[in-house]
Amino acid sequence: MQVLCFKLIKVKKESKVKTTYITTIIMKKEIKFSLVYRDMFQSSGKFQPLADQLEKVAPAIIEMGCFSRVETNGGAFEQVNLMAGENPNNAVRRFTKFFNEAGIQTHMLDRALNALRMFPVPADVRRLMYKVKKAQGVDITRIFCGLNDTRNIIPSIKYALEAGMIPQATLCITSSPIHTVEYYSNIAEELIAAGATEICLKDMAGIGRPDFLGRLVKNIKEKHPEIIIQYHGHSGPGLSMASILEVCKNGCDIIDTAVEPLSWGKVHPDIISVQAMLKDAGFKVPEINMNAYMKVRSLTQEFIDDWMGVFMDKNNKLMSSLLLTSGLPGGMMGSMMSDLAGVHKGINGILQSKGKPTYTLDELMVELFNEVAYVWPRVGYPPLVTPFSQYVKNIALMNLLSRAQDEPRFSRMDESMWGMILGKSGRLPGDVAPEIKELAKEKGFEFTDADPQSFYPDALDKYREEMQELGWEAGADDEELWEFAMHERQYRDYKSGVAKERFLADIEKAKDSEMASKGVSVEEIKAIKHAKADPIAAPEKGQIIWEVVVEGESMAPAIGKHYNADELFCTIITPWGELQPVATGLGGRVVEICAKQGDHVNRGEIIAYLQRDELFN
């Protein structure tokens, strides 16, 4: 939308007494904002807010009054909700409902051939996804292929249109000799011709150069003024604010933004700064209800303090120009640092055994960035976005390990890495290096240019049949069938309850590690836990027999396992041979186990601590 403004210019003519006024018309472009609430968390840590937390924050987001769109779900959201023991379909419906009623558009992120996971998805499962998401209240799907292969994106555009969703086709932005304005413009032409009504510039690592992005937007807008362009740029290396200004000056319509406490760092620019910059530059932008902003800020911090903070890498709060060298996206920096820390000890151990100098973690990080820069052009310049950023990073990481062991580069690549290189995920933008082609030949691998979808046949009937055998409901609009087919392993764990128990155990373990890193002793950690928990004492002297059975063996329950008040907790075999059942007497979750399977205890001895449901956080 363009707003007409009238400006009176006073012109003084030397030869005349009267003053002449000339009226000019200034076209003031309107810029809209989107809040990427899902991506804020993905770029910061492992999990997403749970459904009740999303319901809590949604009204405050709406009250801010500045967002025309909110990213409610998509890549990683479904999977990590299942890992937390929650039904993501329920979470999506509950979150989108608020925005649907307020007239704010909702959008999701999907990975084209990979849909919402890290590896390819059968066509019938992909098609069903759009019907499910439309029914759940999601308006727009942002479709991207990490290789920018239109063969992967175009089917999803068609599936989205069939389901009544708005297909936003995506250009994954990176900076390389082959990723030119012409390269991206040609892809945009093909996607628009296929039915995309919107184009997103997904600058997932924030390494897109501002001038380049401005020229790209201008090129698309001059040919297709009716196409909505949305810019998504991470803050990592510090270019994002300049990039936002350039794309807006050249015709961009919508900007993705974040809010504190998860803005900046490896995440996205904050709405306040973006709005102020564009307002000062003369654009028409919505006002921000600052009282509501503070509510969203406070609630988001509350979620972090509750439990999510223990999964967030503190380095993700920092910006780093080093990212310009590696081009790695902000969304994977947390996992990269975790992987690097894991390999650090192993590499140093190998180097020490050979009498060679070892690395500090910072030195190894620089080595990894340098290795990514070496690997990336040799594997065909795939844009570094999920899952290809992980593949390139993993190849580089394995190369560092190989180098420490005096082994050749590229000798530790797995099936996924080779799948990318051989073309099973789509066409690589550049050529694969001769050394890797030769290695593929030695291994008997063949390169392919076949449609990637052809390698992954339809599978819904198989999953529907199994659900019927198990007595599982397909759900409203077949959403449970879709979830099972999309995230099979995580869905099984969710249905069995294992996911929830593992999730709660992970929280306790992470909290313990966090306290230990602050110098809190093991005894002090136990004291803190005991202060908020109830002890379960042995009612009789005897031998502990736990009721949890795994693969035929009895063992103590996992930390985080939930028990109802009347549920059997364990059994004690008394010295006189009686079986004494032990119930918890309260509803709660295990925070500590004090006795192993088969241990002998005295009457009154504490065998475990449980924290009541209302106290657990």
Ordered alpha helix ranges (H), 430-554: 434-443, 460-470, 479-486, 488-496, 498-517, 522-531
617 pLDDT above the threshold of 50: no
Phi and psi torsions of 79, nearest 5°:
-60, -45
**How would you classify the pairing of strands 579-583 and 568-573?**
antiparallel
What is the arithmetic mean of pLDDT over 374-396? 89
Same domain, 134 and 234: yes
Domain boundary among 400, 430, 454: 454
- pLDDT computed for residue 7 by the predictor: 47
Q: Residue 94 corresponds to which tokens in the numbers above?
A: 């509950």
406 in a domain, yes or no?
Answer: yes
Handedness of CA 278, 284, 289, 295 (dihedral sign): negative
Question: What is the rounded CA–CA span in Å between residue 81 and residue 345?
Answer: 32
Q: Among the three residues 315, 345, 360, which one is the final residue of a domain in this structure?
A: 315
187 close to 150: Cβ distance less than 8 angstroms: yes
Question: How many angstroms separate the CA atoms of 309 and 47, rounded?
Answer: 10
Q: Does residue 120 sit in the same domain as residue 155?
A: yes
Measured CA to CA, the distance from residue 543 to residue 525 in angstroms comes to 28
Q: 601 or 329: which carries more pLDDT confidence?
A: 601
Would you state the pLDDT for residue 18? 52
Q: What pLDDT, in 10s, does the model give residues 163-178?
A: 999 999 999 999 889 9
**What pLDDT score does 344 carry?**
85
In this prediction, residue 124 has a pLDDT band, given cuts at 50, 70 and 90, of: very high
What distances in angstroms separate CA 324 from CA 206, 242, 422, one per listed residue? 8, 15, 27
β-bridge partners, 5 = 26
The pLDDT tens digits for 473-503 are 999 999 999 999 999 999 999 999 889 888 8
Residue with tokens 């929650």: 86
Q: What is the pLDDT of residue 21?
A: 54
* CA angle (268, 517, 360) in 5-degree steps: 75
**Over 70: is that where the pLDDT of 6 sits?**
no
- Identify whether the C-beta of residue 460 lies closer than 8 Å to the C-beta of residue 125: yes
- Residue 233 and residue 267 in contact, taking contact as beta carbons nearer than 8 Å: no
The confidence score (pLDDT) of residue 129 equals 98
DSSP assigned state of 510: H
SS3 assignment, position 590:
strand
> Residue 139 — very low, low, confident or very high, per pLDDT cuts 50/70/90?
very high
Place of tokens 């390819």: 120
Structure-token pair, residue 249: 């000056």
How far is CA 531 from each of CA 522, 528, 610, 612, rounded to the nearest angstrom? 14, 5, 11, 12
**pLDDT, tens only, 91-110:** 999 999 999 999 999 999 99
425 with 551, same domain? no
Q: Do residues 371 and 285 both lie within one domain?
A: no
The answer to whether residue 77 sits within a structural domain is yes
Same-domain check for residues 163 and 227: yes
Which whole number is the average pLDDT over 188-197?
A: 98
**253 phi/psi in degrees, rounded to 5:** -105, -35
Distance from C-alpha of 145 to C-alpha of 374, rounded to nearest angstrom: 23
CB 264 within 8 A of CB 241: no
Q: How far is C-alpha 184 from the geometric centre of its chain's CA atoms?
A: 25
Distance CA(233)–CA(256), nearest Å, equals: 7
Task: Supply 116's token pair.
Answer: 């919402």
- Lowest mean pLDDT segment, chosen from 142-156, 198-212, 441-455, 546-560: 546-560
In a domain, 8, yes or no: no
The predicted pLDDT at position 616 comes to: 43
State which residues form the domain around 550: 517-615
Please give the pLDDT value at position 615: 44
Looking at the structure, tell me whether residues 179 and 216 fall in a common domain.
Answer: yes
Identify the pLDDT of residue 164.
98
Judge whether 203 and 233 are in contact, CB under 8 Å. yes
Residues 344 and 301 grouped into a single domain: no
Angle (nearest 5°) at CA 588 between 586 and 591: 125
Which pairing describes strands 568-573 and 542-546: parallel, antiparallel, or unpaired? antiparallel
**DSSP conformational letter for 431:** P
Residue 580 contacts residue 550 (beta carbons within 8 Å): no
481: in domain: no
Q: Which pLDDT tens digit goes with each residue over 268-298?
A: 999 999 999 999 999 999 999 999 999 999 9
Compute the distance between CA of residue 377 and CA of residue 90 in angstroms, rounded to an integer: 42
Say if CB 339 and CB 256 are below 8 A apart: no
pLDDT given at position 103:
98
Q: Are residues 302 and 353 in the same domain?
A: no
With respect to residue 496, please indicate whether it lies within any of the assigned structural domains.
Answer: no
Whether the CB-CB separation of 20 and 13 falls below 8 Å is answered with: yes
**Do 188 and 311 belong together in one domain?**
yes
Mean of the per-residue pLDDT values for the chain?
90
| 127 and 201 within one domain | yes
What DSSP state is assigned to residue 172?
A: E
Distance CA 263, CA 165 (A): 29
Query: Above pLDDT 70, what percent of the chain?
Result: 92
pLDDT greater than 80 at residue 17 = no
Q: Which residue has the tokens 């799907």?
A: 141
Instruction: Give yes or no for a contact between 575 and 603, defined as CB atoms under 8 angstroms apart.
Output: no
- Other residues' Cβ atoms within 10 Å of the Cβ of residue 475: 17
Q: In the predicted model, is pLDDT for residue 29 greater than 70? A: yes
- Domain boundary (454, 470, 494) is at 454
Among 80-89, 270-279, 356-365, where is mean pLDDT lowest? 356-365
Count of the separate structural domains present in the chain? 3
Euclidean distance between CA atoms 163 and 60, whole angstroms: 30
Confidence of residue 331 (pLDDT cuts 50, 70, 90): low
CATH code, 305: 3.20.20.70
Burial (CB < 10 A; 0-12, 13-18, 19+), residue 576, is exposed
Is 187 found in the same domain as 109? yes
Strands 542-546 and 600-601, by their bridges, are antiparallel
Residue 13 maps to a domain: no
121 and 207, same domain (yes or no):
yes
- HEC-encoded secondary structure of 32-72: EEEECHHHHHHCCECCCCCHHHHHHHHHHHHHHCCEEEEEE
**How many CB atoms within 10 Å of residue 450?**
10
**437 vs 149: CA distance, rounded Å:** 21
User: Residue 263 corresponds to which tokens in the numbers above?
Assistant: 């803005």
CATH number at residue 427: 1.10.472
Spatial CA neighbour of 184 closest among 233, 143, 219: 219
Strand 198-203 with 588-593, pairing: unpaired
- 592: domain CATH number is 2.40.50.100
